[in-house]
Amino acid sequence: MEHGEPLDRVARIQAEWRRERPDLDIAPQGVIGRLHRLADRLGEELRLVYDRYGLGEGEFDVLCALRRAGEPYERAPGELAAHTMVTTGAMTKRIDRLERAGLVTRRRSADDQRGRIVALTGPGRELIDRAFTDHMRNERRLLDLLTPAEAESLETLLTAWLSRVERPRVPDGG
């Protein structure tokens, strides 16, 4: 933080911790705390678009995963869960809501009669195409708060950090 700039909320919290616990290194809180606050704010901004289309974030994710699948815009529920990183139970609830809204259909798999296939309906495809267009416009608006160089540097840093955090852990004693 440059000299003379007012302290943001995270810096004020850090100053209090430095006073109360000078024995601790609270420097990580500067990055993690700001990332956490930024994620919360970005989530609020992204939900504005989802709300405009009557979708929750989860329903938006399901419709996007189906649309990204390409023609005929369908996937098995387990595949949808993997593409959206939620449990199959949570996925069932999302699919139920989308089916009630007429945005997806469910049918038995031709390959496996026990399996199910979820597919976008015509109205579902039209809705997600409009919603995703607005979503990308909204993300562009948010990213344009940075310079192109800042955005590129941030993407590089976040990609590296995320790959290290998500790296599979090696069991001890191996």
Report pLDDT digits (tens) over 16-27.
999 999 999 999
Name the pTM for this structure.
Answer: 0.84
Q: List b or e across 77-88, with b for residues whose CB sees 16 or more CB atoms inside 10 angstroms.
A: bebbbebbebee
User: Is residue 98 a part of any domain in this protein?
Assistant: yes
The reported pLDDT for the residue numbered 112 is 64
- One-letter amino acid of 142: L
User: Is residue 15 a part of any domain in this protein?
Assistant: yes
Q: Which residue has the tokens 């399996």?
A: 115
**Which CATH number does the domain housing residue 36 bear?**
1.10.10.10
Judge whether residue 110 has pLDDT over 80. Answer: no
The two structure tokens encoding residue 151:
């955005």
The reported pLDDT for the residue numbered 129 is 98
User: Is residue 140 a part of any domain in this protein?
Assistant: yes
User: Is residue 51 a part of any domain in this protein?
Assistant: yes
Q: List the domain range (segments joined by +) for residue 69.
A: 9-20+31-147
Residue 7 is classified by DSSP as P
User: Is residue 166 a part of any domain in this protein?
Assistant: no
The reported pLDDT for the residue numbered 113 is 58
The reported pLDDT for the residue numbered 172 is 65
Report pLDDT digits (tens) over 53-62.
999 999 999 9
User: Is residue 154 a part of any domain in this protein?
Assistant: no
pLDDT band at 2 (very low <50, low <70, confident <90, very high): very low
Please tell me the least confidently modeled range out of 88-92, 113-117, 123-127: 113-117
User: Is residue 161 a part of any domain in this protein?
Assistant: no
Judge whether residue 85 has pLDDT over 90. Answer: no
Sheet (strand 74-75) strand order: 74-75, 116-120, 104-108
- In total, how many domains does the chain have? 1
Q: What are phi and psi for residue 3, nearest 5 degrees?
A: -60, 135
50 contacts 62 by C-beta, under 8 angstroms: no
Please give the full DSSP string across 108-144, using - where no structure is assigned. E-SS-TT-EEEEE-HHHHHHHHHHHHHHHHHHHHHHT
3-state secondary structure (DSSP) of residue 168: coil
| Angle made by CA atoms 94, 133, 70, in degrees to the nearest 5 | 65
pLDDT band at 13 (very low <50, low <70, confident <90, very high): very high
